[in-house]
Structure 1
Amino acid sequence: MTRRSSLRSLIALTTVILAGCSTEQIDGQSNPESTPASSAVRLPRHVDHSDRPQVHFDPCLDIPDSAIVEAGFDPASEENADFTPDEYTFLGCTYDTPQRLYGLNVLSGNISFEEERQKVQTTQKNTRPIEINGRPALLEFDSGKPDVCAISMETSSGFVIIDRNLFKGTGAHTPESEWCAGLEDTARIFERYIPKEG
């Protein structure tokens, strides 16, 4: 059983257990303040201590292996990349290409897209607004950090970032024109699985 299927099984079991919990009080009367758990809503794997929205889009669970393969990466290389301090949440996984030429991080967080936009405008030397399947996004790279490119896409809870590294294996950097080549295609594949607004 792969790490991904083990994690999915654990989430499904937890959801079933919680959905089966009774909302009745000891005297047999229903508690009007309790709402039954919906089997259609999965509990996030982590909830921080902030007032930010919960992160329901989970790349590790919501992007199928077929999409990972379509993007040119190996689902068997998946490793957890969650970042979960008290103030915000990022759920995510990393992947490699079968030839280990590229490494990919896919993280879904509850820091707002506007916060991300402001941050990259002050820290990245090369940032431009784009759209991925009609969704507002940012293409982000820095000439001072070779072989790295990222795309951030707005979501209802914040943003999803797809961050790719190139591993040429020779010790030499690739030309800057290659850093982001094809990353928008990868983002278009993964965006299909991010829930649409409203």
Structure 2
Amino acid sequence: MTRSAACGVAVIALLLAGCSTQEASGESPPTEMPTSTARVPRHVDQSDRPQVIFDPCLDIPDSTLIVAGYDPKSEKNADFTPDSYTFLGCSYDSLHKPEGFYYGMNVLSGNISFAEEQEKKKDHATPIDINGRRALLIFDSTVRDYCELSVETSYGVLGFTRSIFTDHAGPVPVGEWCTGLEDTARTYEPLIPKGD
């Protein structure tokens, strides 16, 4: 479901909540309506892993994307949902950078554990800290113009996979592949639910 469709469903639900089939009786309506604070994830796998409670496609406001340098209008679904785990995700293109570099980035929220991510990426990962959360900066020089970052969450990990492009001839310098990705993760991190 696109962000626009989700907003449309929410607006319809709010409008219907205000309608009533009861006759007017002069009585005041109840002052409190029951509310639900938990949203059912767009996908729930067949494992006993935690549900993915942060959905990049629904929980990252356009304003945050713009601050981080990404174009909300470029959003595309990037979910990966096998039976044994879940990654809910969206991809974004950067707003053009004056220095001539631009990016394509996936933001993937998954219920694999941080320990699993550490083991899987151990040959190319450097432990870092993102706003007090454990994280991994993942750089493999054999994967050209590419960098990853994974942040620990209460349900698993929030991952960033980013490709860098240039608008001029010649390769992108290796030193630029991960530049700014930690800042992007710091911008998004406050949106992640803190968990129990």
Instruction: Sort the TM-score into its range (normalised by shorter chain).
Output: 0.7 to 0.9
Pick from 38, 43, 57 the counterpart of residue 40 of structure 2: 43
Match of 1:182 in 2: 180
Q: C-alpha distance in 2, partners of 1:195/1:12?
A: 24
**Percentage of pairs with the same residue:** 55
Identify unmatched segments of 5+ residues in structure 1.
18-36
Contact 2:150–2:160 (8 Å) recurs in 1: yes
Identify unmatched segments of 5+ residues in structure 2.
17-33
Match of 2:158 in 1: 160
Q: C-alpha distance in 1, partners of 2:10/2:158?
A: 21
TM-score (normalizing by structure 2): 0.82
Aligned runs of 1:100-111 on 2, under 5 Å?
Answer: 101-111=102-112
Root-mean-square deviation (Å): 2.4
Q: Structure 1: which 4+ aligned runs deviate by more than 6 Å? A: 11-14
| CA gap 1:9/1:156 in 2 versus in 1, 3 angstroms | farther
Contact 2:53–2:193 (8 Å) recurs in 1: no
Q: C-alpha distance in 2, partners of 1:156/1:12?
A: 30
Q: C-alpha distance in 1, partners of 2:169/2:121?
A: 27
Q: C-alpha distance in 2, partners of 1:170/1:71?
A: 23
Q: C-alpha distance in 1, partners of 2:169/2:46?
A: 42
Alpha-carbon distance, 1:196 to partner:
1.3
Match of 2:137 in 1: 139
Contact 1:71–1:186 (8 Å) recurs in 2: yes
TM-score (normalizing by structure 1): 0.81
Contact 1:68–1:74 (8 Å) recurs in 2: yes
Larger radius of gyration between Structure 1 and Structure 2: 2
Aligned: 1:6 with 2:5: yes
Using the TM superposition, name which of 169-178 and 75-84 deviates more: 169-178
Deviation sequence 1:45-85 (CA, Å, 0-9, x none): 00000111111110111111000000001000000001111
Count of aligned residue pairs for this structure pair: 175
Alpha-carbon distance, 1:174 to partner:
1.2
